[in-house]
């Protein structure tokens, strides 16, 4: 399924996004909820499964990450430190509004949970469904595609000041125990 196009007239201004910061940062700290799963089979394509079996080799099977798209460990091989892209549901909601507009962000999981460095620093282990993950050190940064999809102000909001400090663009994680994750599953910190 091609990703939906966002109408540029609906891009949020920096002032609008900054006003939403308290709401974004009020996400649950210990236990959250998996709001959306996105598989990216190819550039610009999105599949929204209700559940998926993740594993330590492929991450999200069928996702273009495994082919080295984005961060690559070697030619045609995805960097394990960038295996799963995750963004706070409250943040993408502030930027994109309706859930139909979330998939173009390019993240695999959207989670209603505090993903800031004070709550989920690198090395933090967490569970979703029967799978376990660990937050990696690799920074998750905005890109030109993100600007094209949500506007320059959204990228500035995420990548400067409080947005950068709180890692609002999101985190990377890798699978440390294979399992099945489903939309609506509880996300629990294990550390």
Distance of CA 179 to the CA centre of its chain: 19
Between the alpha carbon of residue 132 and those of residues 54, 137, 191, the distances in Å are 9, 17, 12
Examine residue 122 and state whether it is found in any structural domain, yes or no: yes
Residue 50 CA from chain centroid, whole number:
16
Range of the domain at 172: 8-189
pTM for the whole structure = 0.90
Question: What is the Cα–Cα distance from 20 to 18, expressed in whole angstroms?
Answer: 5
Query: Does residue 156 contact residue 11 with C-beta atoms inside 8 Å?
Result: no
| Residue 3, domain member (yes or no) | no
What local confidence, expressed as pLDDT, does residue 71 receive?
59
The pLDDT value recorded for residue 81 is 86
Would you call 179 exposed, middle or buried from its count of C-beta atoms within 10 A (0-12, 13-18, 19+)?
middle
Could you tell me if residue 154 is inside a domain?
yes
Domain count, the chain: 1
Tell me if 37 is assigned to some domain. yes
CATH of residue 92's domain is: 2.40.33.20
Q: What is the tens place of the pLDDT at every residue in 108-131?
A: 999 999 999 999 999 999 999 999
**Per-residue pLDDT, 1:** 55
Low-confidence ranges of the chain (pLDDT < 50): none
**pLDDT at residue number 139:** 86
For residue 77, the model assigns a pLDDT of 63
Q: What does each C-alpha distance from 50 to 25, 32, 37, 93, 183 come to in angstroms?
A: 26, 17, 7, 19, 5
pLDDT at 76: 58
Residue 185 in any domain: the answer is yes
pLDDT at 127: 98
pLDDT score, position 20: 96
């Amino acid at each position: 399924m091609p990703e939906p196009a966002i109408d540029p007239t609906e891009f949020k201004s920096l002032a609008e996004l900054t006003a939403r910061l308290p709401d974004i940062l009020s996400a649950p700290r210990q236990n959250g909820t998996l709001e959306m799963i996105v598989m990216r089979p190819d550039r610009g394509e999105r599949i929204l499964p209700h559940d998926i079996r993740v594993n330590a080799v492929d991450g999200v099977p069928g996702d273009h990450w495994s082919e080295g798209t984005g961060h690559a460990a070697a030619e045609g091989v995805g960097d394990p430190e960038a295996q799963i892209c995750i963004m706070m549901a409250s943040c993408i909601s502030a930027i994109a509004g309706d859930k139909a507009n979330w998939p173009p962000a390019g993240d695999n999981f959207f989670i209603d949970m505090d993903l800031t460095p004070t709550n989920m620093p690198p090395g933090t282990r967490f569970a979703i469904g029967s799978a376990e993950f660990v937050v990696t050190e690799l920074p998750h940064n905005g890109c030109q595609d993100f600007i094209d999809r949500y506007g320059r102000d959204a990228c500035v909001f995420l990548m400067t000041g409080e947005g950068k400090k709180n890692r609002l663009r999101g985190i990377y994680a890798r699978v440390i125990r294979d399992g099945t994750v489903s939309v609506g599953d509880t996300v629990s910190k294990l550390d």
